[in-house]
């Protein structure tokens, strides 16, 4: 373990069994025990190694299906690696998708406490940052409204506000930001910068290349589960655009 590293990934591979080859029922399991079919697997991440330093603002780009989200899910502990190791030093919060983790029939206020609990906070910790969260989200007037009446922009505001105020060492943000309006997106970036200044590690997945170039200290370009390029955002993006044009 190296203390300067937030995340150490060594020879990580992740394979998924294609859904129609998965044994779902007792019968299938028993039948398959006798004649083994060739099981179709897709490799989502293929022998990937990277060290992410504490305090980095890392951008991840790449076409759909490159394994970006799978990588984030492995880092956050949702998926287990098929082989290789991932070591995460420090606590982690992720903002991967809108709506997930929120109950549409509960008020925004109730949802803040529920979501906070899902991210591993105690009730007091949520209470202490409650005002900051609603100020940031600019939703003071809507706290007693049910979540289902929120527009997707408002849902984003609430979700990002909670995730970015939980005070974890590492913050993972997936493409969700794209539904926000210009001014809120800016606000999110400012917030991420502030967290970055405080020494937090931030990983941002986005298709908004401009955003990555302006904000990240380093970028990686993923393609078919491998690292195609790592380095200065400008250089990595240029490489991505060049290979993208050939498609």
Q: Which residues bind other proteins (CB under 8 A)?
A: 16-17, 22-27, 29, 73, 76-80, 94, 96-97, 100-101, 103, 105-106, 110, 113-114, 116-123
**For other proteins, the closer CB: 21 or 232:** 21
Sign of CA dihedral 240, 245, 246, 247: positive
29 to 35, 36, 199, 210, 228: CA distances (angstroms): 10, 10, 49, 49, 39
CB 99 to other proteins: min, Å? 9
Closest C-alpha to 180, from 160, 165, 195 = 160
CB 86 to other proteins: min, Å? 13
Distance (Å, rounded) from C-alpha 167 to C-alpha 163?
Answer: 8
Distance (Å, rounded) from C-alpha 30 to C-alpha 220?
Answer: 44
CB 50 to other proteins: min, Å? 20
- Tokens 């080859």, located at residue: 21
CB 24 to other proteins: min, Å? 6
**What is the DSSP secondary structure assignment for residue 170, as one 8-state letter?**
E
Helix (H) or strand (E) holding 7, with range, is strand 5-17
**For other proteins, the closer CB: 168 or 187:** 168
**For other proteins, the closer CB: 54 or 103:** 103
15-220-120 Cα angle (round to 5): 70
**For other proteins, the closer CB: 4 or 124:** 124
Closest C-alpha to 232, from 221, 244, 246 = 221
Distance (Å, rounded) from C-alpha 247 to C-alpha 64?
Answer: 13
CB 45 to other proteins: min, Å? 14
**For other proteins, the closer CB: 80 or 247:** 80
**For other proteins, the closer CB: 120 or 231:** 120
CB 29 to other proteins: min, Å? 7
């Amino acid at each position: 373990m190296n203390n300067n590293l937030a995340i150490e990934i060594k020879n990580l591979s992740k394979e998924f069994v294609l859904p129609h080859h998965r044994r779902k029922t007792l019968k299938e399991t028993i039948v398959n025990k006798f004649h083994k079919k060739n099981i179709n697997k897709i490799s989502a991440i293929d022998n990937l190694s990277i060290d992410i330093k504490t305090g980095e603002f890392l951008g991840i780009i790449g076409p759909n299906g490159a394994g970006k989200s799978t990588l984030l899910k492995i880092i956050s502990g949702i998926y287990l690696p098929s082989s290789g190791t991932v070591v995460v030093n420090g606590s982690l919060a992720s903002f991967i998708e809108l709506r997930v983790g929120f109950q549409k029939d509960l008020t925004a206020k109730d949802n803040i406490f529920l979501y906070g609990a899902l991210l591993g906070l105690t009730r007091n910790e949520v209470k202490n940052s409650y005002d900051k969260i609603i100020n940031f989200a600019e939703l003071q007037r809507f706290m007693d409204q049910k979540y289902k009446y929120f527009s997707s922009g408002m849902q984003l505001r609430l979700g990002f506000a909670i995730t970015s105020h939980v005070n974890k060492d590492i913050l993972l943000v997936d493409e969700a930001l794209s539904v926000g309006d210009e001014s809120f997106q800016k606000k999110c970036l400012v917030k991420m910068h502030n967290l970055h200044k405080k020494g937090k590690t931030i990983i941002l997945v986005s298709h908004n290349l401009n955003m990555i170039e302006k904000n990240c200290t380093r970028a990686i370009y993923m393609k078919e589960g491998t690292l195609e390029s790592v380095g200065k955002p400008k250089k990595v993006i240029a490489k991505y655009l060049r290979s993208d044009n050939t498609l």
